[in-house]
């Protein structure tokens, strides 16, 4: 007997139903597969009714597996008689080597440090694991005024000179780091890569971090940058008709909520580029349980990040922190811009990203979801050790080019 639900990713490895019982085109998405399970679990069925059918997943088998799944247990021997079991995808071997190096280094994790020391440690480690920065001819440091008078530092990256007469499309990028660590510096190589590969201008934002600046300061900084780039696009050589918002991890959270705020303000970005975004404060998904330890980002670290940024537990239910299930004026995502969402197969917040893709789709928002099966959280910044990261950067750049209507070159 195997107790507990298996990780969602394993569900996608069971054989698909026979042709006589067609599934939707979305069944390759593990979460969509689970939804189909739920739909087909309405009718009860005895184990004796289940037939092998050549190791295809029959409707009766679907109902049986669905009941065991949603009741929180699965009898492995029973399931093996009705489906062809395939193991979960394995870690990318380069990722596995990196995790082994991290474990053998025995350096204290970020959540065992003071916030100030954690910021320094993250900034020092980033260039060690990230790709070498790509040289760009046009890199400029600017400031954007915040609502409280603070000057938000931003940096623009472009492969060519841009002007109001010859503007570039613009990606506004929010770095990751749990609202506690990270900066323009830690994400310099990634922003250079996206600018070079997409042909767009990238504007990286140094929003304020916890614990010195609690929620909702980071979101407010993001919203102030949102308004500024639409108002002042021409002054930096950006095209106001081709603006996207993106970010990784906590930065993905900010990009998602900024897309909602843009809708609220009547502004029209063309894309939200969400890289393993945090979308919920409720750590109850299968991926949270399956990958709680040993995959770089841990549940203990997530809890520590939350403690640095949030004022109280009430903030967990605010859409500006939890766009998947938070309340308020951002709970409804109808009318937000299209999304490209990347999640890592071995990431505790994987299912939160998939869940947000589901929420957007249910609201009629076009979504492209990319699951990088063998990857871990923060993999977009591990390119020095993980060759597959280069392809992921190209995927993100291609999504931007499609949204901006530009050609590769």
By annotation, the residues acting in catalysis are 249, 347, 377
Q: CA geometry: angle at 185 spanning 200 and 250, to 5°?
A: 80
The full DSSP string for 208-273 is --TTTS-TTHHHHHHHHHHHHHHHHGGGGTEEEEEEEEEEETHHHHHHHHHHHHHHHHT---SEEE
Asked if residue 216 has a cis previous peptide bond (ω within 30° of 0), the answer is yes
Token pair listed for 232 = 């002042």
Q: Note whether 328 and 318 are within 8 A (CB).
A: yes
Q: Cα–Cα distances in Å, from 168 out to 114, 120, 173, 241, 406?
A: 41, 34, 15, 10, 10
> Counting beta carbons within 10 angstroms of the beta carbon of residue 15, is it exposed (0 to 12), middle (13 to 18) or buried (19 or more)?
middle
Q: Which residues contact 29 (CB under 8 A, 6 or more apart)?
A: 12, 354, 369, 371
**Nearest CA-CA partner of 269 in 357, 336, 320:** 336
Q: Which residues contact 164 (CB under 8 A, 6 or more apart)?
A: 234, 235, 237
Q: How far does CA 403 lie from the centroid of its chain?
A: 18
């Amino acid at each position: 007997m195997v107790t507990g639900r298996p990780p969602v990713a394993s569900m996608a490895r069971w054989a698909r139903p026979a042709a006589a019982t067609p599934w939707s085109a979305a069944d390759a998405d593990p979460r969509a597969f689970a939804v189909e399970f739920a739909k087909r679990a309405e009718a009860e069925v005895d184990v004796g009714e289940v037939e092998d059918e050549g190791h295809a997943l029959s409707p009766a088998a679907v109902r049986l597996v669905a009941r065991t799944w949603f009741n929180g247990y699965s009898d492995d021997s029973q399931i093996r008689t009705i489906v062809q079991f395939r193991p979960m995808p394995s870690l990318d071997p380069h990722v596995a080597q990196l995790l082994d190096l991290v474990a053998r280094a025995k350096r204290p994790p970020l959540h065992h440090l003071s916030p100030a020391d954690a910021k320094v440690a993250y900034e020092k480690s980033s260039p060690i694991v990230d790709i070498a920065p790509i040289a760009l001819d046009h890199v400029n440091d600017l400031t954007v005024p915040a609502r409280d008078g603070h000057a938000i530092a931003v940096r623009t990256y472009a492969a060519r000179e841009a002007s109001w007469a010859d503007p570039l499309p613009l990606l506004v990028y929010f770095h990751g780091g749990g609202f506690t660590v990270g900066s323009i510096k830690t994400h310099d190589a990634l922003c250079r890569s996206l600018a070079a590969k997409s042909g767009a201008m990238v504007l990286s934002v140094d929003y304020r971090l916890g614990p010195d600046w609690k929620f909702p300061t980071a979101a407010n900084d993001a919203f102030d940058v949102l308004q500024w780039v639409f108002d002042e696009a021409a002054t930096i050589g950006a095209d106001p008709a081709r603006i996207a918002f993106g970010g990784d991890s906590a930065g993905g959270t900010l990009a998602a909520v900024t897309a909602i705020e843009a809708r609220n303000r009547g502004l029209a970005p063309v894309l939200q580029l969400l890289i393993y975004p945090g979308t919920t404060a409720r750590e109850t998904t299968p991926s949270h349980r399956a990958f709680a330890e040993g995959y770089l980002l841990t549940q203990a670290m997530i809890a520590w990040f939350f403690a640095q940024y949030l004022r109280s537990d009430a903030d967990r239910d605010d859409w500006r922190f939890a766009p998947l299930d938070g309340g308020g004026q951002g709970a409804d995502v109808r009318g937000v811009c299209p999304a490209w969402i990347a999640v890592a197969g071995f990431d505790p917040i994987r299912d939160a990203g998939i869940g947000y893709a589901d929420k957007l789709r249910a609201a009629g928002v076009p979504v492209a979801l990319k699951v990088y099966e063998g990857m871990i959280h923060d993999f977009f910044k591990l390119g020095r050790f993980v060759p597959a990261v280069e392809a992921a950067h190209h995927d993100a750049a291609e999504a931007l080019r499609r949204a901006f209507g530009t050609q590769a070159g």
